[in-house]
Amino acid sequence: MRMFLKLLLLVCYSWSCAQATNCNTTSPYRTLDGSCNNLQNPSWGAANTVYERLIAADYGDGVKSPRKATNGADLPSARTISMKLFGDENVLEPAFTLLSMQFGQLVAHDMGFIRGGADILPCCSGGKLVSNPVPRCYPIPVASDDPVMGSAGVQCLDFLRTITDCDTDPSSCSNNKKAEQLNVVTSFLDLSVVYGNSVEENTPLRQFTGGLMKVETRDGTDWPPQNPNANTVCVQRNPDDACYLTGDARANLSPHLAILHILFLREHNRIATRLAALHPDWNDEKLFQEARRINIAQYQQIVFYEWLPNFLPLPENGDKRSLVSVLAHQYRGDVNPTTLNSNAHAAFRYFHSAIISQLHLDHENRSKAGEVSFTDHTLNPAILEAPCKYAQLSRGLATQPMARIDLNIDHEIKHNFLKLDAPFGNDLRAIDIQRARDHGLPSYNRFREWCGLPKAASFDELASLLHSSQDAARLASVYASVDDVELTVAGLFEKHVPGTQVGATFRCILLEQFHRTRVGDRFFFETSDPIVGFSKEQFKQLRKANIARLLCDNTPKLEGMQSKAFATIDAGSNKVSPCSSLPVVDLDSWK
């Protein structure tokens, strides 16, 4: 854990909050820190601003302490809830590939990263509470009879509270103002994971010639630059092991996540190279900004038209909001695009159930060549540069089914998350529960009410909303009151809306978030604004963007891909086809 926290420091070296400055109203390019997207409210969605809320925080003391039960007692241990209510089996989802889950993580990282996750302040050492812990310590208790960690003598798991505006400026939180957590990345779908969230972060990532991002070429293949602090931010088994410097410090967390970072980095340079050929008169800055603009537009097309429809529903009569209605809106300056606390730290985390820790390596014919463990390669993406492995892992990513969204979470993620060289790891499900309490997210019932859905007055009433009638009894075994039941927990127990991967409450929050993300982004690629929008012919080309073609264009030795790469291969409607047959964005439209 300490190694990972050191890694995260890289994203946090510039804490200057976005200020309401004089905005350039004629620039077609978004700022790196997200400021000035909204000309009337320049800080909306900018890096280093607070998360937005649908419902006011429910803190234990009304101001900043973690949420408590309705009777004033502490809520049950997050690890106990994880163990009692959630399994660790891998039940596969036959419809969608692991790419769907991994892309969701990239989107989540693009929209949010809590401030303070980089701090190296251990709360538990060797599984025991440290003496004189810092005030931000909020360790997760582990019961002595815990069947996995109890026998090892583990009494607590590390957890630090997120830094809030009250921590950075105590004077702003007088008169019992509620604390709000800070987000250090932009809220927009702007590939900040590639480009960084400030000029200071972006500068070491650029070549400053030909509009290119900086790369290192090894064996004829381009890779992100080596991180200058590789020996402290990655788990290197050899001094020359790869450890990448990207726009987001979490890029090295897993080989699959690194692949997606590399994908959009290479795509930027592919676009910039083509634009330079079309426009030899353009200087480096013009080429960089235009390539970035196109790269982001392709990414937004994929997010909203290829990926989101897989887990959000088609419109239904009487719906307050549906995916189609989200897509139908043009920019509105009165919509705040800031990432929602309840989305980033509850609803969107449902994807953690889809994680698989054993990653397949596949041959071109999609037969299995082997597999590697997420745990063995955490913070060490060096395997990507081993002969054939990058292409094999990329094929596996788009072939291997993800886990089903259910009440399980992968065994390694539940018991050995960020284990590194320690005898035990952390529990991602428990971390999710603890983080929601840290942020004062109100109860499941409160969010049901906000969404216009019926509240449950008792556990008996709750039963009809869940997967099975026994689930309410399971929740009642750990919560004293139905109003104690947490959004992060009950959201996973809800019956899925037909045709989707989520229940009604998470669906409501996700739709609200992506409505704001789309409608509140002045630079969203579909805009008709003559200053920031694309021409009709360029827009027509951007509609062709798809994740399969991006993988093909940026993965050496990859010869074919199914056209719907988020969906599992089907010999009929979704078979592997030659890369050359897939739709492509014709950059000649930018002549």
What backbone torsions phi and psi does residue 251 show, to the nearest 5 degrees?
-60, -30
CA 114/CA 417 separation, integer angstroms: 18
Contacting residues for 393 by C-beta, under 8 A, at least 6 apart = 255, 256, 259, 359, 361, 372, 383, 384
CB 129 within 8 Å of CB 123: yes
Contacting residues for 521 by C-beta, under 8 A, at least 6 apart = 37, 45, 188, 189, 331, 337
The residue to which tokens 């300490």 are assigned: 2
Q: Which of 109, 261, 345, 439 is catalytic?
A: 109
Largest distance between two CA atoms of the chain:
70
Q: How many CB atoms lie within 10 A of CB 174?
A: 8
CA 374/CA 389 separation, integer angstroms: 14
323 Cα distance to chain centroid: 19
- Which residues are paired to 141 by β-bridges? 156
Tokens representing residue 223 in the block: 């890779």
Contacting residues for 302 by C-beta, under 8 A, at least 6 apart = 103, 545, 546, 547, 550
Query: Does residue 109 carry a catalytic annotation?
Result: yes
What backbone torsions phi and psi does residue 137 show, to the nearest 5 degrees?
-65, 130
Q: List Cα–Cα distances, 536 to 108, 526, 582, in angstroms.
A: 30, 10, 22
CB 106 within 8 Å of CB 114: no
- Which residues are paired to 371 by β-bridges? 360
Torsion 429-434-438-439 (CA) sign: positive
CA 318/CA 314 separation, integer angstroms: 12
- Which residues are paired to 375 by β-bridges? none
Contacting residues for 264 by C-beta, under 8 A, at least 6 apart = 191, 193, 194, 295, 299, 550
CA 309/CA 314 separation, integer angstroms: 8
Residue type, 251: A
Residue type, 428: L
- Which residues are paired to 577 by β-bridges? 561
Tokens representing residue 412 in the block: 């390694």
- Report whether 377 belongs to an annotated binding site: no
The residue to which tokens 């939180």 are assigned: 173
- Region of 589 (left: φ > 0; alpha: ψ -120 to 50; beta: rest) is alpha
Q: Which positions make up the binding site?
A: 352
Q: Which positions make up the binding site for heme b?
A: 352
Residues classed as catalytic? 109
